[in-house]
């Protein structure tokens, strides 16, 4: 039986996996507005295809952070104060992106649209990059002292390992987003999305493999959880190969499922490698933050467990329902809200 501390570690992992799986594709679609769309109409079709979803997808991140605060206050405190500047940039980008969707169509001027287009692109590119940098440095280790305070220099956060993680996740978002686009558009846009997805699959594979190899040599997580991680890697490779196969066969929803699976497995592997730690100290193992020393009291966790297990089925229920309502493809000839 899981202890409550373990359960909350798992729940937080699930929230972040959910966040990357869901917001991952809408980050990708946000990048496509510059990389795939050829004209304003296509851009609008793309934005409208994620219109009903992106906000709720982002709530997965907010809930993940909230759950961290409630269940592991020290994790929350060390993480957000330690990565101060990266989070300033991530938040600025998310702020600009959120209003850009709403504001973009409100004036018929080219300069106006261009401005918000830049916001959408940066806002879809920077947050996944920075969050991946943060997650990668979790397992690489950070200068955390005996008082759980993290004093990180520039290279503690930005280094070859974390940057590769950042680029990999950005590319994952893009490929996953392209697969989403094949599901919600028709015609030329859909065909081009599938083609670009196929083209990007190879560099993505190289990056993923590179990241696994670097992780093997630069972190201790394969030492600690070798068997589980190995099976995750194998599952990941299978999902990756299947993604390529389904793209080739134009089975779009299956391909989308597989890119999502690659994404989910990648994020899961970070959490598996961490467990039972939540942040690793590069100064001394004794300074690691763990699910024990970073956690709230038993009563708090119990209350939160009851609340979360009661509410989650409803949350999942109406979110899935909303995807069902908006399952039709976005057509450029119809009324576009954004």
Partner 1 sequence: MDTIMLSRIQFASTTIFHYFFVPVSIGLALLIAIMETMYVRKGDEEYKRMAQFWGKLFLINFAVGVVTGILQEFQFGMNWSDYSRFVGDVFGAPLAVEALLAFFLESTFIGLWIFGWDKVSKKVHLLSIWMVAFGTMMSAFWILTANSFMQHPVGFTINNGRAEMNDIFALITNGQLLVEFPHTVLAAYATGAFLVTGISAYKLLKKQEVSFFKKSFQIAAIVGIISSVGVAVAGHAQAQYLVETQPMKMAASEGLWGESGDPAPWTVWANIDPTNKTNSGEFKIPYLLSFLSYSKFSGEVKGMNQLQAEYEQQYGPGDYIPPVRTTFWSFRIMVAAGTAMIVLGLYAIYLIWRKKMDRPNTWFMRFMFWGLLLPPIANTAGWVMTEFGRQPWTVFGLMQTKDSVSPNITSGQVLFSVISFTTIYLILGLVLVGLFIKVIKKGPYAMDNDHSDSHDPYNKEGSHAFS
Residues of span 138-197 touching partner 1 by CB under 8 A: 148-151, 183-184, 186
Interaction between residue 238 and partner 1 (CB under 8 A): no
Size of the site for partner 1 (CB under 8 A): 81
Q: Least distance (Å) from partner 1 to the CB of residue 229?
A: 29
Looking at residues 63 to 82 of the shown chain, list those that interact with partner 1 (rule: CB under 8 A): 63, 65-74, 76-82
Buried b (16+ CB within 10 A) or exposed e, 15-29: bbbbbbbbbbbbbbb
CB atoms within 10 A of CB 220: 15
Which CB sits closer to partner 1, 108 or 286?
Answer: 108
CB 18 within 8 A of CB 112: no
* Nearest alpha-carbon partner for 37 in 164, 202, 153, 190: 190
Interaction between residue 47 and partner 1 (CB under 8 A): no
Q: Least distance (Å) from partner 1 to the CB of residue 220?
A: 24
* Nearest alpha-carbon partner for 279 in 80, 118, 121: 80
Which CB sits closer to partner 1, 77 or 238?
Answer: 77
Looking at residues 268 to 297 of the shown chain, list those that interact with partner 1 (rule: CB under 8 A): 296-297
Which CB sits closer to partner 1, 101 or 129?
Answer: 101
Interaction between residue 102 and partner 1 (CB under 8 A): yes
Interaction between residue 208 and partner 1 (CB under 8 A): no
- Euclidean distance between CA atoms 334 and 337, whole angstroms: 9
DSSP string across 294-327: TPPPHHHHHHHHHHHHHHHHHHHHHHHHHHHHT-
Q: Least distance (Å) from partner 1 to the CB of residue 45?
A: 11
Which CB sits closer to partner 1, 39 or 227?
Answer: 39
Interaction between residue 38 and partner 1 (CB under 8 A): no
**Beta strands 277-279; 289-290: pairing state:** antiparallel
> With the C-alpha atoms ordered 173, 179, 180, 181, is the resulting torsion angle positive or negative?
positive
Q: Least distance (Å) from partner 1 to the CB of residue 300?
A: 5
């Amino acid at each position: 039986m899981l202890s409550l501390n373990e359960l909350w570690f798992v729940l937080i992992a699930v929230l972040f996996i959910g966040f990357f799986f869901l917001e991952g594709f809408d980050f990708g679609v946000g990048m496509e507005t510059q990389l795939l769309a050829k004209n304003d109409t296509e851009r609008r079709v793309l934005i409208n295809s994620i219109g009903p979803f992106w906000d709720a997808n982002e709530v997965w991140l907010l809930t993940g952070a909230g759950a961290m605060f409630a269940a592991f206050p020290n994790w929350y405190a060390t993480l957000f104060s330690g990565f101060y500047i990266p989070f300033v940039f991530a938040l600025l980008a998310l702020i600009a992106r959120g209003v850009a969707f709403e504001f973009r169509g409100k004036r018929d001027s080219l300069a106006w649209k261009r401005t918000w287009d830049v916001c959408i692109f940066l806002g879809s590119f920077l947050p996944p990059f920075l969050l991946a940098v943060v997650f990668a440095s979790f397992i690489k280790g950070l200068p955390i002292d005996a008082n759980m305070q993290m004093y990180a220099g520039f290279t503690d956060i930005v280094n070859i390992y974390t940057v590769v993680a950042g680029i990999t996740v950005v590319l994952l978002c893009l490929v996953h987003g392209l697969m989403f686009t094949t599901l919600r558009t028709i015609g030329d846009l859909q065909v081009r999305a599938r083609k670009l997805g196929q083209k990007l699959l190879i560099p993505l594979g190289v990056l993923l493999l590179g990241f696994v190899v670097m992780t093997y040599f630069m972190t201790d997580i394969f030492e600690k959880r070798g068997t589980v991680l190995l099976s995750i890697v194998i599952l990941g490779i299978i999902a990756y190969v299947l993604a390529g196969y389904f793209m080739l066969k134009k089975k779009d929803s299956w391909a989308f499922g597989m890119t999502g699976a690659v994404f989910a497995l990648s994020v899961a592997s970070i959490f598996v490698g961490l467990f039972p730690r939540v942040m690793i100290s590069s100064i001394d193992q004794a300074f690691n933050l763990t699910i024990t020393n970073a956690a709230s009291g038993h009563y708090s966790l119990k209350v939160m467990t009851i609340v979360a297990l009661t509410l989650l089925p409803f949350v999942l229920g109406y979110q899935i329902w909303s995807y069902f309502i908006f399952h039709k493809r976005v057509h450029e000839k119809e009324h576009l809200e954004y």
